[in-house]
Structure 1
């Protein structure tokens, strides 16, 4: 009697492969994976790689999971290997009763039923009766090879059509009902098809076995999409569409990205984004997040750029916070308004969606906006309520050190926001009037302040590198120092202030560094002890004073024209950057609290 697949899946999930295999061979971290010398053949150069759920040797071809590793390395039979691993994982190996044995046989039979149904639906798509559905898919931009790769199909409108295909395969009505392909008849009526007159999307588990279907109606009928009911094979909250394909894509280095719909996933795979998946008609669940993290420690969640997308992002963040850790987190990406991945790739190709992925922000940067969006903070009561929500969100993180970091970041943003006046405008600075200063010295002094912030806090470059490159700085030390900093950053092993300053001095820029860091008038943001929120505010304060709102508006309009004419991802990235900067100026975030502006 074979063991239940659910038990074996849990056993594999509870057995960390690096620690198991590390008992037999020395492993070293290699990116997000591990590598070492193969324990199954003598080698001096490591070619043995360990991933989240399997190992592979590129030398001898050894490949498998935790169970097969124990069998191969210790000469154990399958039951013995399972017993050993189960004892370590704290699991009890199931001892099947006759009823469980019968249920296991039915489950294996149901996989065969679902495979036969997928073949039948797929075959009908290419018959005359499926022509309308096939034309619909082709009009949506799918190539025939993509349609065949995803086994898309057509459920005809005629009653009994599916069973006519399945009976010759030995499938009974009782099996079709249990698999969710038929629904029970009412008042003595015969069973009827669950799906009819719909484009069919097979849903597979991580092993590639068909476990359910999604069906889309043609035209404007409702509901637009229907999924299979819950069955012995299918639990909607547990799976992801295209999980089996994304697993292979992630293994080959693709970015894992969760989008909204089946067509979005298929369009992205066709465009080369083979790590794309989608939830099955529900908001992302904790179980689905766990599946994403099995593929990647930092998957991207991609949302529409409208109010519904913001709400979906907030729900996903709420579900994720209790589960994030120092080893697994999320990035959030927002699509341009009015676009989804399907339409975006159809119009702009792979480069357009790659620009969206490149602009994805870590959860830690996005969380404040997700919580504060649409919540007024004009009164003490409203501000206290918002602060409680922020600290509550950070407190949901189980890892105490990580929770403290999130709390610090969120409160930094909160205190910066509460320094704003009514309507989001900065409170006026109370400073004595200053004598007029010539424009050139003003620009040089502001450039010095901005560069001093970067010199003391070069970690900020990961966020503002492109913005810094956009500025028209004065000739001489400002422009030269900026160029030297931007040249250092891509190859830096450690992004910290001491390394950056030492590097610049070695390259002959000691005088320029001394000029930038001369203490007269330096803002709080350029001090080593400045908090991250103060550093960001200070940078944008001087950036926007050097650039100006009018110039930003012109830049934004020009970037919009360039994107429309060229569809260049660099143009889209520039547009996103400029829009964020302009939005910051209008919210007043950039100018608040940047005390010490000498110009």
Structure 2
């Protein structure tokens, strides 16, 4: 129903905001305004204000604000037309007259509502009669309490093809009305219309105002399909907009600030009768925009239950796609997947309501379900597959119309993609403090210390053992981060090049300042006690004792430098993760770029490691030490 602006203004003029709000909130005057405790959440210090002059309320604790119509919709879970009708009644204003067509349509709908009421009473009588014995037995087996049968007006449609038709006819209902209400099956190829519902448990379905608009029928015989049969689309029943049990759940949902949505009406009844009154059912349909909006009128974060089997998970995933574009600040969903392929009804009958509450407590945020859908079973070990996942996830996030939520989802996407790629890059079985190099694992003996520290000592030792490489490697080595004692040693080592272009190992040992002797001893090793000069380096990197080719030595040094650079990237990633976690947008983008760079470096390190391992195997196979020189191995 449409209301002219003048009528809306008249309602607002007759009802001060403080009068409407005062029915639910205890208000105290504070100057020109009123103050009270928030009706939207529990608090001890009043943060809720009302200003009659501005016809406005504002809740500082939740950010909610609006006029009298907004307040009624928020606190009572009604639509705008319903809020207008309630407030108009409160103000003593008659509703404006509709057009002739509107009046005729409303009168027609009123007639159909009356037909549905007559049908419901008939089904209730059947259930209580001798004909309903089997149906009552079924309900008893499902542990549906007698009080629930009465409250939900559960009934029974007999197997007779014309029983309801004849009953309604005896009450003066035209056959055309029965057909329009969806109670009879009719068509050009059907000479005589007959009852749609036969030999079924009948569950009335109501609209948000509590008017009976349709039925759900559960077959008693196992061989009858479909097991559940709903009313067809009619002038008063639109399956895509109806949420079963809304009118009963509305008040409990607002009091609890939560609502549970299950798939079937039998599940909803089972949950309701054990004390969880804020429960509704979607009647097995995929979520529609109208149903999503309806659920948000009950709670800002409805909890939706799905089976944990393949069909249930697929249904949840489809729901995510429907919900995403409609998300906005303070409006989202949580998801529950029932364990052991049990419905809520089954779980409650077998293990009690607390078992169901435990399942609800493990509900997942919508983002977690979306992430699970997009990443489960996905191989993202290669850059192209990572790019595909990233593109797919961003495309989904772009469907979110609310800019604030859209931005938050993009930020979370980038963060989790970066973390995922980082973890994949490191590998599940590898030590997370080490780069994955086959060569390092096979040829270096640094197991008593971490990879980074061990490689730093090997690099410094090699620069001492092969001073001819100092100038060539200076730029790449100086970009590495060394501990303070090693950093000073390295600086002095490069300074020797300035004074002596043809630096030898002996020169280094004699010309470096005495304070670096301990470092020299650690990374290289002085001759003595039967040990050759450089013995510490050879212990860490045994293949060097075989006097390998210079180009092999140079390649090994480059490989080790590259691994230390990867370690520094890991440090940068950790720092970016901390910054990104604090909401720094630039840090999130930087994090993803660093992870990509780290992944590329790891791929390169892995490939290099394999190649160097094969090279080392050739050196060991071909060259063997004999009498201080290298000879072809036998």
Matched, 1:30 2:33: no
Change (3 A) 1:318 1:15: farther
Q: Distance in 1 between matches of 2:8 and 2:427?
A: 48
Matched, 1:53 2:53: no
Matched, 1:397 2:405: no
Instruction: Give the superposition deviation at 1:26.
Output: 3.9
Instruction: Give the superposition deviation at 1:171.
Output: 1.5
1:411 to 404, 410, 414: 414
Matched, 1:322 2:325: yes
Change (3 A) 1:328 1:128: same
Q: Deviations over 1:382-434 (max 9, x none)?
A: 32221112112221212222211111212222222223449973554426956
Change (3 A) 1:55 1:296: closer
* Structure 1 partner of 2:218: 216
Change (3 A) 1:382 1:37: closer
* Structure 1 partner of 2:264: 261
Instruction: Give the superposition deviation at 1:365.
Output: 3.3
Change (3 A) 1:222 1:161: same
Matched, 1:237 2:240: yes
Instruction: Give the superposition deviation at 1:101.
Output: 2.9
2:201 touches 2:219 (CA, 8 Å); kept in 1? yes
* Structure 1 partner of 2:94: 78
Unaligned runs of 5+ in 1: 40-45, 57-63, 83-93, 438-520, 535-591, 593-599
* Structure 1 partner of 2:178: 176
Change (3 A) 1:13 1:529: farther
Q: Distance in 1 between matches of 2:291 and 2:166?
A: 36
1:288 to 286, 291, 300: 291
Q: Distance in 1 between matches of 2:449 and 2:381?
A: 36
Instruction: Give the superposition deviation at 1:36.
Output: 6.6
Q: Distance in 1 between matches of 2:72 and 2:9?
A: 11
TM-score w.r.t. the length of structure 1 is 0.61
Change (3 A) 1:369 1:50: same
User: After alignment, is 390-399 or 201-210 more displaced?
Assistant: 390-399
* Structure 2 partner of 1:347: 350
Change (3 A) 1:285 1:530: same
Unaligned runs of 5+ in 2: 20-32, 42-46, 53-58, 60-67, 77-81, 441-445, 451-569, 584-601, 603-634
Change (3 A) 1:339 1:71: closer
1:255 touches 1:273 (CA, 8 Å); kept in 2? no
After superposition, where does 1:401-480 map in structure 2 within 5 Å? 401-421=404-424, 425=428, 427-429=430-432, 430=434, 433=446, 435=448
Q: Distance in 1 between matches of 2:172 and 2:262?
A: 38
* Structure 2 partner of 1:69: 87
Change (3 A) 1:530 1:422: closer
Q: Distance in 2 between matches of 1:279 and 1:523?
A: 48
2:165 touches 2:194 (CA, 8 Å); kept in 1? no
Change (3 A) 1:183 1:49: closer
TM-score w.r.t. the length of structure 2 is 0.58
1:185 touches 1:192 (CA, 8 Å); kept in 2? no
1:35 touches 1:49 (CA, 8 Å); kept in 2? no
Instruction: Give the superposition deviation at 1:35.
Output: 6.2
* Structure 2 partner of 1:383: 386
Change (3 A) 1:149 1:51: farther
Change (3 A) 1:51 1:359: farther
Equivalent position SS for 2:397? helix
If you compute each CA radius of gyration, which structure gives the higher value, 1 or 2? 2
Instruction: Give the superposition deviation at 1:11.
Output: 13
Instruction: Give the superposition deviation at 1:211.
Output: 0.1
Q: Distance in 2 between matches of 1:21 and 1:295?
A: 25
Instruction: Give the superposition deviation at 1:323.
Output: 1.0
1:254 touches 1:275 (CA, 8 Å); kept in 2? no
How many equivalent residue pairs? 414
Matched, 1:529 2:574: no
* Structure 2 partner of 1:469: none
Q: Distance in 1 between matches of 2:337 and 2:10?
A: 35
